[in-house]
Structure 1
């Protein structure tokens, strides 16, 4: 379904250097995706001039930018239909499989090693269910997601994002609704290890309703605003075991949170970057309009710089900092280092609770292998599965502050780790990390992760 970008005034260069003037931007291969969504990612417009010396880089930059939408398996860019020094800019795409239903087999613990070692591979700590995605629902890059989960945590989730609602493709909206409940709860921390309490009745219920707005004025930058209504309730037993869990011995907390987030990424890949810059900053305010069982102001910054040093050699340096005020917060708002993506490689078995923390990470990568595996008996465009394998060495450092550290031995001291490993990367945004890490206390181990760390 070819489409043509609107013609604009042609600007002819005055120098003698060879150049091309773009007549039209043509999109091919898109059976569902609207041409405007693809054209929005291409910096080239009709009437633009491309010098011969810049042509290869321009084609590759446009290809990667369209590929970064995660809507396509493959993207090719080319110049076609030459007429003197004028030609068409062509973007040829192979669309992904947009309707996906996957079984959920998810560990309840923070990472694989905690489940395997600390929790002794208990199947009682596994979540089972079904997760469904309808990507590119209307051909505008929108996404509908649903999840039903049983097991350790019972959960239902429904979300939808529409990245563009206007003709200029700048403004977007969305919503998210979720509810979960569980019979076990992490209600305290002892010596930097999570302490869990379990009984037959449900101990914890969490619900969320959020509305989102996004503004993307250019290619690399996006502004987002989230307004969410949050509730969390626990059994009386938990309030007695740890009165500070929800604060002041409460069994239920309700609060509104307003969050603003700014994302900037100018990298060769948004999924597994090797060259470029990534930045995310956010500020959140919780507790207003009478829904103020929890009150805080949160500031968070995450930034990473990526370089190609030589052929197949890559380096990355990143930092993330978070501060939450005031420092006197309920226990469930004290998740510092060790949770989600905020951990040091080599300290996966520990958590460092606190309202403020800073983490720095460095990684040196070398591309060991790059190949495709061809699968029979499936549609042709899905048959070739790409794999890239990187060897790496890394070092991390971090610091966390907690006004009430208790018996923590990791708070208010500089922590550092390092190690070597392998990253196995494929399409559909998958990555397997195999890492052998050591920390400053002489502890060593092999760690497995399925998410890209920086």
Structure 2
């Protein structure tokens, strides 16, 4: 079988990004011998790896071959790496939960500042200053490599959260709020540090250590003595979590092929006898199967186990926040354990690689991609709650939802979803979201 030797790898367009950051992601290096028929698939696969760094608008490659020697060039168009994102958001779990109240005082505002590719080394600095109904201050710093020999990186963060309201219990799977005009009924601060083993952009493992301090007002402890248990007003705890992520999706923003796996095991220990220790485990697996032209089938599942001698209401989180059965966006289904299954069939309607904005000179902003997808889906979920489920009929019951949606993917990996759903309770609704469904 004829073979070629990689004589050289050249990079172009990376004015900010260090060449070593890109070269570390490649699965081949100068001096490697490659079967001739495998060269093109290899270059395409590595093109996807560079795209999934999410540092570039596009990545192209070219090569020359003479006397069995191949010289490869990857040319990139860098993104703008400073993201000053204004915060104007609803203080509730999602837009439709806010729409039920239509209370314009429940608005958050501020600035979320993200500096990606700091120093050209794919480092990230995060600053969030949020005011309004919920007040947040968050600082974070991620370093892909602190010990290159062993592919070890680190992630640090500190956060402070305060709110004028608190969901102190659930009744009929609806949150019940206590609002305090003067003062904050809940305060939460945290410090977190993680050591990350980063094999590449697709495979990462980590060990995270976090410390939390939480306080509630006397009124909250009176309304629900089991919020922290025994009418406590304050608790401190540490959490150790070991996690693993294998992300083999063809596109991290809106995948149409590949697979995704993540799993985590954590232990939470309370200080000064402020709670009962618990062990948590969670896992998620999703498969994306392209077939028949522009169609993609997606199927995946995730689950959680939380094992403790005694449970506090504040930790009784299952479906209704980040994870939920579509069609139940207006409900909260708390519990100790849950399972969630999702499947969907997607058809690409439109794929415009670039809409040229002639009134903008900067190439990092004047080319806007736009892709539209039609999606039909069914979801199923089940939550086990042996402690707080008596007055919440959706717990310990199979949840079913289905519907159709229109998804848009555009500038800087922004995903927008508009979905019409029907659930097992015969509720229908039109829901909006700004993230990938699974």
Is 252-261 or 45-54 further displaced after alignment?
Answer: 45-54
- Measure, in 2, the Cα distance between the counterparts of 1:54 and 1:291: 61
Compared CA separation, residues 289 and 153, structure 1 to 2 (3 A): closer
Partner of 1:183: 164
Partner of 1:32: 16
Partner of 2:311: 329
- Measure, in 1, the Cα distance between the counterparts of 2:432 and 2:371: 17
The one-character-per-residue Cα deviations of 1:91-145 (angstroms, maximum 9, x if unpaired) are 11111111121210121111111111x212x221110001111111111110001
SS at match of 1:124: coil
Matched, 1:347 2:328: yes
Structure 1 residue 305: Cα displacement: 0.6
Alignment of 1:147-296 (within 5 A): 147-168=128-149, 170-200=151-181, 201-218=183-200, 220-287=202-269, 293-296=275-278
Which runs of no fewer than 5 residues in structure 1 stay unpaired?
A: 1-14
- Measure, in 2, the Cα distance between the counterparts of 1:407 and 1:420: 31
Count matched residues.
434
* Contact 2:277–2:309 (8 Å) recurs in 1: no
- Measure, in 2, the Cα distance between the counterparts of 1:63 and 1:291: 53
Compared CA separation, residues 273 and 169, structure 1 to 2 (3 A): farther
Task: Tell me which of 410, 415, 427 is aligned to 2:399.
Answer: 415
Task: Tell me which of 110, 114, 123 is aligned to 1:142.
Answer: 123
The one-character-per-residue Cα deviations of 1:231-254 (angstroms, maximum 9, x if unpaired) are 110000000000011111100010
Compared CA separation, residues 327 and 448, structure 1 to 2 (3 A): farther
- Measure, in 2, the Cα distance between the counterparts of 1:90 and 1:176: 37
Partner of 1:51: 35
Compared CA separation, residues 445 and 327, structure 1 to 2 (3 A): farther
SS at match of 2:105: helix
Matched, 1:398 2:381: yes
SS at match of 1:136: strand
Partner of 1:109: 92
Is 186-195 or 19-28 further displaced after alignment?
Answer: 19-28
* Contact 1:317–1:363 (8 Å) recurs in 2: yes
Structure 1 residue 55: Cα displacement: 3.2
SS at match of 1:267: coil
- Measure, in 2, the Cα distance between the counterparts of 1:328 and 1:273: 40
SS at match of 1:377: coil
Partner of 1:42: 26
- Measure, in 2, the Cα distance between the counterparts of 1:356 and 1:280: 17
* Contact 2:80–2:364 (8 Å) recurs in 1: no
* Contact 2:229–2:312 (8 Å) recurs in 1: yes
- Measure, in 1, the Cα distance between the counterparts of 2:162 and 2:240: 24
The one-character-per-residue Cα deviations of 1:356-391 (angstroms, maximum 9, x if unpaired) are 000000011000001132113320242111111010
Structure 1 residue 184: Cα displacement: 0.7
Structure 1 residue 294: Cα displacement: 4.8
* Contact 1:254–1:294 (8 Å) recurs in 2: no
* Contact 2:221–2:231 (8 Å) recurs in 1: yes
Which runs of no fewer than 5 residues in structure 2 stay unpaired?
A: none
Partner of 1:66: 50
Structure 1 residue 169: Cα displacement: 6.7
TM-score, normalised by the number of residues in structure 1: 0.93
The one-character-per-residue Cα deviations of 1:187-224 (angstroms, maximum 9, x if unpaired) are 01010001111011211101010011100235532111
Matched, 1:300 2:282: yes
Compared CA separation, residues 422 and 337, structure 1 to 2 (3 A): same
Partner of 1:4: none
Structure 1 residue 288: Cα displacement: 5.8
Structure 1 residue 290: Cα displacement: 5.5
Compared CA separation, residues 221 and 324, structure 1 to 2 (3 A): same
Structure 1 residue 291: Cα displacement: 7.3
Instruction: Say what the alpha-carbon RMSD is for the aligned residues.
Output: 1.5
SS at match of 1:239: helix
SS at match of 1:249: coil
Structure 1 residue 27: Cα displacement: 1.5
TM-score, normalised by the number of residues in structure 2: 0.96
* Contact 1:286–1:292 (8 Å) recurs in 2: no
- Measure, in 2, the Cα distance between the counterparts of 1:369 and 1:344: 27
- Measure, in 2, the Cα distance between the counterparts of 1:351 and 1:28: 50
Structure 1 residue 311: Cα displacement: 1.3
SS at match of 2:290: strand
